[in-house]
Amino acid sequence: MDTFRASEISITGTLIWYYYICHRQVWLMSRQIAPEQDNPNIVLGRYIQEHSYLREKKEVSVGSSKMDIIRVLEEGLVIGEVKKSSRYQKSARMQLAFYLKELKNRGLKATGELRFPQEKKKQQIVLAKQTEEELDRTCQHIKIIIREEKPPPPQKKQLCKNCAYAEFCWA
């Protein structure tokens, strides 16, 4: 008997990130099937996270979310998300918006900043009503995905060649 209970899964920023990349990754991550940690992209991402923005507060947990950077300015709270590239901007934007919404639900107003240190880029993110509505729909769909008994079938996409789950999907 399967002891997995989808109702016990908290939606996290990581699941939001994976949702906009690959629904199969959402299912795998919800089962704590971690991607290959020695994958060069995972290693590079971890390195960038650890060695960028050294003067700022890092990895702050709020609820079930871990935010990369948090700054308190006179204008208010700023949450930063560090990514190795801007290639998956939609995923990154929605992940950061999820964090902003989680803070808002806890009574904290914040703005967001996507950071791409290798590209020397920053992108400001403000939580808009339309984005909140999209996040609500996304969270509902994530719940549907993780309730499934089996993962969605793999779909060959360009990102598969560098994916840390590639062996799980294509071996």
Q: Is residue 124 part of a domain?
A: yes
Report pLDDT for 1: 38
Domain count, the chain: 1
Report pLDDT for 149: 93
**What do you get for the CA distance between the two ends of the chain, in Å?**
26
Cα distance between residue 104 and residue 107, in whole Å: 5
Q: Is residue 171 part of a domain?
A: no
Q: Is residue 170 part of a domain?
A: no
Per-residue pLDDT reduced to its tens digit, 126-142: 999 999 999 999 999 99
Q: Is residue 1 part of a domain?
A: no
Q: Is residue 51 part of a domain?
A: yes
Q: Which range among 11-15, 101-105, 138-142, 158-162 shows the weakest confidence by mean pLDDT?
A: 158-162
Kindly report the CATH number assigned to the domain that includes residue 123. Answer: 3.90.320.10
The sign of the torsion formed by the CA atoms of 80, 96, 152, 4 equals positive
**More confident position, 45 or 148:** 148
55 Rama sector, left if φ>0, alpha if ψ -120 to 50, beta otherwise: alpha
Record the pTM. 0.83
